[in-house]
Amino acid sequence: MSTVFYDRFERHSNAEGLKAHATHYCPGCGHGLAHKYLAEAIEELGVQDRTVAVSPVGCSVFLYYYLDVGNTQAAHGRAPAVALGHKMANPNAVVVSYQGDGDLASIGLAEIVSAAQMGIPLTVIFVNNAIYGMTGGQMAPTSLMGQKTATSPYGRGVTAGQPMKMAELVSGLDGTVYVERVALFDAKNRARAKKAIKKALQIQVEGRGLAFVEVLAECPTHLKMNPEETEKWVKDNMLPVFPLGVKKDSVPEPWFHPAPPSFDPEKVLKLVGGSSEHLERFCTSFPTHLDPHDISLKLAGSGGDGAQTAAMLIAHAGINEGFDATHIPSYGPESRGGTSYADVHVAETEVHNPAAPRPHVLIAFNAPSLAKFGPTVRRGGTILYDSSVVKEPGTFGEGVRVIGVPMTETAVDLGKTMVKNIVALGALQAATGLFPKETFLTAVRHALKEKCAMIPLNEEAFAWGVKTVETLTS
């Protein structure tokens, strides 16, 4: 008797009476044998302390009554997913997913197939007795053609499909390294089953991959036979459909030995982008000439115009200066079809509403954006549009300044169309004085610190934007 079984099955009805030492299984059930071979393998490999057994839903739901190892009970079909969670939490753990046929081959197909494809070292014990046990004798995915069950009273018919051959299926998946189908109906096969379960466990202990053992087992109760007849039934009826043997044995060298996670604060800070680098500030006060507390801007164009990048740079610039700022890509039906709109706020202390339904400033990179958002600009606000692509800007509300800047042409002249958004930022600076020039340029340089070669071009684009507006307005 393996020492991996509890001395007393306390979890089995609080070990009342004989339950302290007897399983809940019906006489002759194959589960008890699979439990025994698993317990013996755990003992022989000396991994009792490291083992986590994941119990399924079905008759073996109470595996945790018996095995003196770490135990987790999973939802129906999900045992391989739970097992994977355990293995990833502690790669040193030896994790066993123990499942029946309804659990593994029906409701849990996605979980077993994905685990078997991933190939993280796990041991899967699949007990196939061709029927639902605990639920009460219904058709299993592995029930045989013509087999009469509670839900196939006239025999499993063609519309139910052929029984699932899981050992063959998972052996065809890339992550499994060892797959064998064994049986329990005679001494020779029981010896093989025991050996296979031990091998499947050892492969995981050595970090070699996912091993899968399908055990053809007996369910005398729901096959409505005595145990001896059930053994014969498995041999005569199941074997032709579920041939025994090794389906795959391609055990690789040990490979699974992940390092423990790092909790080095310096490393964490660097990775999340935290830096103590303090960017120089140039603002002497909040730009109250635009609004006492909170300035909103809308940048609108097509995808590729750089509206989002320019918006981000404004937000960064504002935050570098010690203000609050937000940026959101616009939502709503108008954000479909390759258009790209951004709402930006810069507030002295706190941005309340990050949306910009009535902006102080609009930067429009094309005519539809100008037509759509031009009318929303506040009285006293400013519209900057790309006069390279918008030829007839139209008229907008009283007291709204409308300034055309050849953003695209300037960028093309500089050799890179993509810097037209930086031309726009230069124009914004000159037209509104939102921040000093150096504030914008510091944000641009900081954003390009990984691509320093791009900095001069962007500085030039910014300068052209400034100059264009200064020329136009002087």
Q: Site residues for other proteins, window 61-80 (CB under 8 A)?
A: 61, 64, 66, 68-75, 78
Query: Roughly what angle, to the nearest 10 degrees, separates helices 307-320 and 437-447?
Result: 110
Nearer of residues 150 and 269 to other proteins, judged by Cβ? 269
- Least spacing, CB of residue 16 vs other proteins, in Å: 11
Q: Which residue, among 424, 358, 361, 440, has the nearest Cα to 387 in the 3D structure?
A: 424
Residue 326 in the binding site for other proteins (CB under 8 A): yes
Residue 425 in the binding site for other proteins (CB under 8 A): no
- Least spacing, CB of residue 94 vs other proteins, in Å: 7
**Out of 43, 44, 45, 85, the residue judged to bind other proteins by CB under 8 A:** 85
Nearer of residues 166 and 402 to other proteins, judged by Cβ? 166
Residue 150 in the binding site for other proteins (CB under 8 A): no
- Least spacing, CB of residue 194 vs other proteins, in Å: 7
**Out of 319, 367, 400, 412, the residue judged to bind other proteins by CB under 8 A:** 319
Using DSSP's 3-state secondary structure scheme, residue 287 falls into coil
Pairing of strands 176-183, 70-73: unpaired
- Least spacing, CB of residue 390 vs other proteins, in Å: 27
From the list 220-228, 406-414, 417-425, 463-471, the region that binds other proteins by CB under 8 A is: 220-228
In degrees rounded to 5, what are phi and psi of residue 233? -60, -45
Nearer of residues 21 and 416 to other proteins, judged by Cβ? 21
Nearer of residues 200 and 402 to other proteins, judged by Cβ? 200
In degrees rounded to 5, what are phi and psi of residue 425? -65, -40
From the list 153-161, 308-316, 425-433, 461-469, the region that binds other proteins by CB under 8 A is: 308-316
Q: Are 364 and 339 in contact (CB under 8 A)?
A: no
Angle at 13 between CA 7 and CA 18, to 5 degrees: 55
Letters for 10-49 (x = contact with other proteins by CB under 8 A, - = none) are xx-x-x-xx-xxxx-xxxxxxxxx-xx--x--------xx
Q: Which residue, among 47, 64, 57, 58, has the nearest Cα to 6 in the 3D structure?
A: 64
> Residue 364, class by beta-carbon neighbours within 10 Å (0-12 exposed, 13-18 middle, 19+ buried)?
buried
**Out of 8, 161, 250, 349, the residue judged to bind other proteins by CB under 8 A:** 8
**CB burial readout 231-267, b (16+ within 10 A) else e:** bebbbeebeeebebeebbeeeeeeebeeeeeeeeeee
Q: Which of residues 225-284 bind other proteins (CB under 8 A)?
A: 226-228, 231, 258-263, 265-269, 271-279
Pair of tokens at residue 207: 């970090």
